[in-house]
Structure 1
Amino acid sequence: MAVAVWAAVRRRPVAFLWSRWPLRAWAFLLTGTLQGAVSLLVLAVLVVLGVVLSVVGVGLLVLAGVAVLGVPLGALERRRLLLVEPVPLPDPHGSLPGAGAAAWLRTRLRERATWRELAHLLLHSVLFTASGLGFVALLGLSLMLLVTPLIVWAISPDTVMLIPGHPISEPLAALPGSAAGAVGLVLSAYAGCLLAGAEVWTARWLLAIRDEDLGGRVVELTRSRARLVDAFEAERRRIERDLHDGAQQQLVALSMTLGLAELELRGQHPAAAELVTRARGEAKQALAQLRTLVRGIHPQVLTDHGLPAAVAEVALRHPVPVTVDIDLPHRLPGPVETAAYFTVTEALTNAAKHSGADRIEVVAHLDRGTLVLLVTDNGRGGADPAAGAGLQGLADRVAILKGRLIVTSPVGGPTRLRVEVPCSG
Structure 2
Amino acid sequence: MTPDVPLHLAAALRRRDHLLSPWPWRALAYLATTLPVAGPLSIGLLVVGAPLVAVLNTVRQDRPVELPIVVFLTVVALLVLASAPVVSIAVAAVERWRLRLVDPRPLHRPRFTGLVARYTSAAAWREVGHTFLLGGLVPLAYWLLFMLVLLDGTLIVSPWLASGNDPVIVVWTTIDTPRQAIPYAAVGVLCVPALVYLAVLLAAGQATAARWLLDGSADTTALREVTRSRARLVDAYEAERRRIERDVHDGAQPRLTSLTLQLGLARLDVPDDSPAARPLAVAHEQAKGLMVTLRQIVQGIRPQHLTELGLAGAVRELSGAATIPVYVHADLGQPLPEVVETTAYFVVSESLGNVARHAHAGRAEVRLTRSAGGLVVEIEDDGCGDADPARGSGLTGLADRVAAVDGRLLLSSPPGGPTLVRVELPCPR
Looking at CA atoms only, which structure, 1 or 2, has the larger radius of gyration?
Answer: 1
Q: TM-score, normalised on structure 1?
A: 0.48
